[in-house]
């Protein structure tokens, strides 16, 4: 917070040493004015055309006060002209792409002359669909709000804006629909944002941890999406949206396991196919989570549960492997993680090659060399592929962590350990909440429905969100 009188000395002192800070003295009818802007954030052409030219051409007053009043009342034809009552407002306007004109002794006015330099709207990279819309969020929050407005033209759409981060001064927007979204949810989100007192609010993890209360869990408690249509569908469901300047994402809260297992593709195909794929997705979730552990448990502790021909095949494949089953599976899981990590950090084209070489060539060579058994490789590969089926990357990564834990516990205690681990996991999930909505809420009291409803029968909004208007259609 900057305090003090709004004058030339105080303003220049704030940005002292900033190479991109521009200050220019002007003379208008004999009165000395000052123009300030941040180079790169403002457009020089717009500043000249829509601020400086009208000031010199249209203002006729003889004192700073009369010039200030004329400029504020429209003689400077700019769509936005905000009076800056204090030094803090001046600083915030300047870092947000405004040109501030100081009328010494009368006040300062901020005119919007933001530069047009920003990434254009492009297709989503992660959540791509065959038939759905192709406009994804970009880093500029105002572009994102315009995208939302284009998808959701209701005047009841509310965009509450605030700044978070003492030094980053990140613009954050809370989106919801008046008369539909539960006001308590909005208040909880606003309270969370107001309580945040950090230097920077830049990284996705900062947003996710601070907004959700930084619980000790790997599971995502807020849902992110890069798709404007998915974001709007969430708002229409009665959820609260969050946009952060600088992040090409929109966040939706509350998030529970049911929402995280939904894919945008579910709404671009018929309900039968979508339901079938959702069942597959849940199957993949369970299989991806427990398969390596289950393989260890069966191969080390409960061989009698394996059908004899399969057992013989596993024994045959394990005969020349010098490592224990647990060591084999755990090392394969770690190798799988390393491959994924290397694929992320390399350029896309190289990353794909590394994944292919790592997965196929190294895997095959390891089996041929007798370092790992084909059965273990298959178990870990199937689990890995199942992880990729999940629509939410954060959820998939949380499950990867638990999968490793399950493999370790199964190596120590077999199916007993695996069962104990699953009980702990369910207990952990049951204890999680997002904006005070339980994580496993969709599965309580036997109400779980993993199937997608038919559009014509899907008449009501999610009652767990307590929407003010619960009906979607007649």
Any contact of residue 417 with another protein (CB under 8 A)? yes
Q: Give the binding range for another protein (CB under 8 A) out of 9-17, 239-247, 271-279, 300-308.
A: 300-308
DSSP string of 373-415?
-HHHHHHHHHHHHHHHHSS-HHHHHHHHHHHHHHHHHHHHHHH
Residue 376 and residue 331 in contact, taking contact as beta carbons nearer than 8 Å:
no
From candidates 130, 308, 445, 474, binder to another protein by CB under 8 A? 308
CB of 295 to another protein, least distance (A): 10
CA distance linking residue 329 with residue 408, whole number of Å: 9
Element (H, E) at 25: strand 21-28
Any contact of residue 214 with another protein (CB under 8 A)? no
Q: Mask: binding to another protein, 325-354, rule CB under 8 A, as x and -?
A: x-----------------------------
Q: Give the binding range for another protein (CB under 8 A) out of 18-26, 277-285, 361-369, 414-422.
A: 414-422
CA distance linking residue 421 with residue 12, whole number of Å: 61
DSSP 243: E
CA distance linking residue 230 with residue 236, whole number of Å: 10
CB of 308 to another protein, least distance (A): 5
Any contact of residue 427 with another protein (CB under 8 A)? no
**By CB under 8 A, what part of segment 184-203 binds another protein?**
none
Residue 201 and residue 210 in contact, taking contact as beta carbons nearer than 8 Å:
yes
Nearest to another protein of 95, 311 (CB atom): 311
Element (H, E) at 293: helix 271-300
Any contact of residue 324 with another protein (CB under 8 A)? yes
Any contact of residue 433 with another protein (CB under 8 A)? no
CB of 299 to another protein, least distance (A): 4
Exposure string of 369-408, with b = 16+ CB inside 10 Å and e = fewer, is eebbbbbbbebbbbbbebbebbbbebbbbbbbebbbebbb
Any contact of residue 422 with another protein (CB under 8 A)? no
CA distance linking residue 74 with residue 180, whole number of Å: 37
From candidates 96, 416, 425, 472, binder to another protein by CB under 8 A? 416
Sign, Cα dihedral of 44, 49, 55, 56: positive
- With CB under 8 A as the rule, give the number of residues binding another protein: 25
Token readout for 41 is 């954030």
Any contact of residue 304 with another protein (CB under 8 A)? yes
Any contact of residue 441 with another protein (CB under 8 A)? no
Q: Give the binding range for another protein (CB under 8 A) out of 21-29, 187-195, 196-204, 411-419.
A: 411-419
Any contact of residue 377 with another protein (CB under 8 A)? no
**Which parts of this chain interact with another protein (CB under 8 A)?**
299-301, 303-304, 308, 311-312, 314-315, 318-319, 321, 324-325, 373, 409, 411-414, 416-417, 420, 424
């Amino acid at each position: 917070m900057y305090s003090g009188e709004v004058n030339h000395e105080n303003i220049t002192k704030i940005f002292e040493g900033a190479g991109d800070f521009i200050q220019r003295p002007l003379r208008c009818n004999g009165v000395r004015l000052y123009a300030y802007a941040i180079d790169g954030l403002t457009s020089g052409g717009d500043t000249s055309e829509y601020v400086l030219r009208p000031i010199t051409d249209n203002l006729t007053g003889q004192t700073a006060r009369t010039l200030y009043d004329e400029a504020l009342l429209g003689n400077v034809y700019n769509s936005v002209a905000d009076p800056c009552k204090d030094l803090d407002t001046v600083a915030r306007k300047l870092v947000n792409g405004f040109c501030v004109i100081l009328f010494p002794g009368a006040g300062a006015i901020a005119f919007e002359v933001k530069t047009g330099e920003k990434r254009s709207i492009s297709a989503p990279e992660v959540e791509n669909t065959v038939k759905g819309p192709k406009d994804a969020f970009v880093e500029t929050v105002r572009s994102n709000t315009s995208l939302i407005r284009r998808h959701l033209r209701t005047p009841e759409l509310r965009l509450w804006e605030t700044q978070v981060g003492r030094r980053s001064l990140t613009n954050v927007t809370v989106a919801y629909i008046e008369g539909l979204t539960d006001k308590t949810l909005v208040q909880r989100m606003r309270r969370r944002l107001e309580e945040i007192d950090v230097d920077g609010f830049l990284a996705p993890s900062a947003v996710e941890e601070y907004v959700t209360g930084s619980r000790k869990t790997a599971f995502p408690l807020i849902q992110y999406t890069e798709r404007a249509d998915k974001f709007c569908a969430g708002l229409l469901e009665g959820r609260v949206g969050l946009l952060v300047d600088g992040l090409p994402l929109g966040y939706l809260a509350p998030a529970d396991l049911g929402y995280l297992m939904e894919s945008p593709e579910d709404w671009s195909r018929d309900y039968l196919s979508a339901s079938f794929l959702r069942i597959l997705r849940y199957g993949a979730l369970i299989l991806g989570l427990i398969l390596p552990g289950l393989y260890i448990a069966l191969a080390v502790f409960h061989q009698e549960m394996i059908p004899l021909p399969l057992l013989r095949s596993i024994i045959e494949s394990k005969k020349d492997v010098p490592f224990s089953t647990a060591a084999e599976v755990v090392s394969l899981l770690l190798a799988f993680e390393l491959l994924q990590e290397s694929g992320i950090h390399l350029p896309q084209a190289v990353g794909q090659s590394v994944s292919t070489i790592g997965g196929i060539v190294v895997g095959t060579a390891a089996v041929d060399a007798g370092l790992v058994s084909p059965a273990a490789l298959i178990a870990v590969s199937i689990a890995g592929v199942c992880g990729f089926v999940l629509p939410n990357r954060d959820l998939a990564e949380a499950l990867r962590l638990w999968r490793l834990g399950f493999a370790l516990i199964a190596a120590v205690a077999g199916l007993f350990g695996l069962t104990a681990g699953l009980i702990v996991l369910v207990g952990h999930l049951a204890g999680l909440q997002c904006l005070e909505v339980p994580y496993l809420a969709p599965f309580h009291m036997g109400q779980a429905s993993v199937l997608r409803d038919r559009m014509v029968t899907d008449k009501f909004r999610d009652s767990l969100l307590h929407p003010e208007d619960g009906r979607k259609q007649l």
